[in-house]
Amino acid sequence: MIKVCKFGGTSMADANALRQVKSIIEADSSRRFVVVSAPGKRHKNDIKITDTLYRCYDEVVELGNCKNAFSIVRERFIEIVKDLGIDLDIKSILDKTEEEIVLNKSADFAASRGEYLSAIVAAAFLGFEFVDAASLVRFDSQGKLNADYTNDKVASKLANVKNAVIPGFYGKNFEGQIKTFSRGGSDITGSIIARGVGADLYENWTDVSGFLICDPRIVDDPKAIKQITYKELRELSYMGASVLHSEAIFPAMKGKIPINIKNTFKPEDAGTMIVPNDRYELDPDNVITGIAGKKNFTVIYIEKSLMNAEVGFVRRILSVIEHYGICIEHVPSGIDTVSVVLSSEELKGGILNDMVNEIRENVNPDFIHVIENISLIATVGHGMARRTGTAARLFTALAKEGINIKMIDQGSSELNIIIGVANSDYEKCIRTIYKAFV
């Protein structure tokens, strides 16, 4: 059996956390490949190493050196190595790293050095081989992960390696320069390695014991999610559930590798299992899997008689929005109506008025109306739409609480029901849905 383990920033924050990581690795010999993040916060007012490294880049651009910001990085890693008592010439490694940050003058390169240094330290402490992610992960000319080429590199490079530590978060672009994923991208690296080595399980170790059914800042002590499918997680991640990077699902999904979200500081907790559909065990007592949402959307509602008989009607609307370079979140529609849901953040500076006028000119609607300050809330559950009365139960609960639903969007996947409510009803809506189903 092969397990790939990814440890997040809090798991790498100091020597004590690293000792806990070592105890987890040594407890199971199948944990052969370890992916690490840069050291995170040790306490509430601490600074993440990655944030400090971005400041290093800013200093290089402004001053031509990064002595001030890098001194924080230097101090942190020297302290970790000293506290661990390992034989590693970290000062020389740090000197070379600072020089390279100045020479490269690249934000991606600077930011990647947190994971790079973290992996060198972890490899020395665990007695594992260090394998640089730059030799494994490749991005194409569009800046996207070259998934198949990367998979081949991982498979061949690690085929004869018994144990390795690999830095997360970065790889190389088509020009051979260091390129990073978006923040939290070490999750993606872990999933990539799991697929490449044909792992039986990808363990993602963090500082929480898996996913909760909803945001604990809104609902007091919500229940944990024991099991969830890849597709359910995609829906919840899109709507803001942030324990795992949303793109980390894809490599594991291609390899049909289960993901176990675990707590480094409570390793005895079962955590959440993320599984393919064919491994999902339906729980008759739990209709829904999770609830997640986001605030601040704008809905453009367009009505026109016989819209369905007018060739190219929707295309012309979408072309206008594309012209402004704005992504569309949802497009719920009826026979004579279509609504386009957009992020309000992208509609500032008069863009909304210009766009509405252009849509009016292009499709000549009978009626067009803009609804602002909308929240979208997704109620997600594997096959919940097939269970009689699920939607009725949801809408009845919201009606009893006097919450006005401004939009309903239920996809053909039967995984979720998305509703739009006023921003002012957002928290109340999530609490009501949780109470109705959980």
> What φ, ψ does residue 324 adopt, rounded to 5°?
-90, 0
The tokens describing 322, both together, are 């594309």
Q: Tell me how many degrees the CA angle 123-128-134 measures, rounded to the nearest 5.
A: 65
Q: Which pLDDT score is estimated for 392?
A: 86
Q: Is residue 13 part of a domain?
A: yes
Mark which of 276, 298, 327 sits at the end of a domain. 276
Position with higher pLDDT, 394 vs 286: 394
- 150 and 200 part of one domain: yes
Q: How far is the C-alpha of 150 from the C-alpha of 192, rounded, in Å? A: 8
375-393 residue pLDDT tens:
999 898 876 756 777 888 8
Q: Is residue 283 part of a domain?
A: no
- 271 and 294 part of one domain: no
pLDDT over 60 (residue 412) = no
Mark which of 225, 251, 276 sits at the end of a domain. 276
Sorting pLDDT into bands at 50, 70 and 90, what band is 318? Answer: very high
pLDDT over 90 (residue 41) = yes
pLDDT over 70 (residue 75) = yes
154-164 residue pLDDT tens:
999 999 999 99
Q: How far is the C-alpha of 77 from the C-alpha of 266, rounded, in Å? A: 25
215-268 residue pLDDT tens:
888 999 998 889 988 888 887 877 766 778 888 999 999 999 999 999 999 999
Q: Which pLDDT score is estimated for 175?
A: 93
Q: Which pLDDT score is estimated for 284?
A: 64
Q: Which pLDDT score is estimated for 246?
A: 80
Residues 6+ apart with CB under 8 A from 432: 397, 398, 401, 403
Q: Is residue 284 part of a domain?
A: no
Residues 6+ apart with CB under 8 A from 396: 436
Q: How far is the C-alpha of 337 from the C-alpha of 302, rounded, in Å? A: 6
Q: Is residue 282 part of a domain?
A: no
In this structure, what CATH number is given to the domain that contains residue 408?
3.30.2130.10
Mark which of 276, 310, 341 sits at the end of a domain. 276
Average pLDDT over residues 395-407: 93
Q: How far is the C-alpha of 132 from the C-alpha of 234, rounded, in Å? A: 29
Q: Is residue 242 part of a domain?
A: yes
Q: Is residue 21 part of a domain?
A: yes
Position with higher pLDDT, 30 vs 225: 30
257-313 residue pLDDT tens:
999 999 999 999 999 999 987 777 766 667 788 998 999 999 999 999 988 888 999
- 164 and 39 part of one domain: yes
Q: How far is the C-alpha of 103 from the C-alpha of 106, rounded, in Å? A: 9
Residues 6+ apart with CB under 8 A from 372: 298, 344
- Select from 100, 131, 155 the least CA-distant residue to 34: 131
Average pLDDT over residues 349-364: 93
- 38 and 61 part of one domain: yes
The proportion of the chain whose per-residue pLDDT surpasses 70, expressed as a percent, equals 96
Q: Is residue 285 part of a domain?
A: no
- 330 and 232 part of one domain: no
Sorting pLDDT into bands at 50, 70 and 90, what band is 130? Answer: very high
User: What's the domain count of the chain?
Assistant: 2
Q: DSSP of 149-194, one letter per residue?
A: HHHHHHHHHSTT-SSEEEE-SEEE-TTS-EEE-STTTHHHHHHHHH
Average pLDDT over residues 356-372: 94
Which residue range(s) make up the domain with 417?
290-437
The tokens describing 45, both together, are 């007012």
- 332 and 270 part of one domain: no
- 204 and 298 part of one domain: no
- 320 and 200 part of one domain: no
- 43 and 96 part of one domain: yes
In this structure, what CATH number is given to the domain that contains residue 13?
3.40.1160.10
- For residue 353, count CB atoms less than 10 angstroms from its CB and return exposed for 0-12, middle for 13-18, buried for 19 or more: exposed
Task: Check: CB of residue 56 under 8 Å from CB of residue 99.
Answer: no
Q: Is residue 91 part of a domain?
A: yes
Q: Which pLDDT score is estimated for 280?
A: 74
Residues 6+ apart with CB under 8 A from 388: none
- 198 and 294 part of one domain: no
- For residue 367, count CB atoms less than 10 angstroms from its CB and return exposed for 0-12, middle for 13-18, buried for 19 or more: exposed
Q: How far is the C-alpha of 134 from the C-alpha of 172, rounded, in Å? A: 5
pTM score, whole prediction: 0.85
Residues 6+ apart with CB under 8 A from 347: 298, 326, 355
Sorting pLDDT into bands at 50, 70 and 90, what band is 330? Answer: confident
Q: Which pLDDT score is estimated for 401?
A: 95
Average pLDDT over residues 361-388: 86
- 37 and 137 part of one domain: yes
- 146 and 224 part of one domain: yes
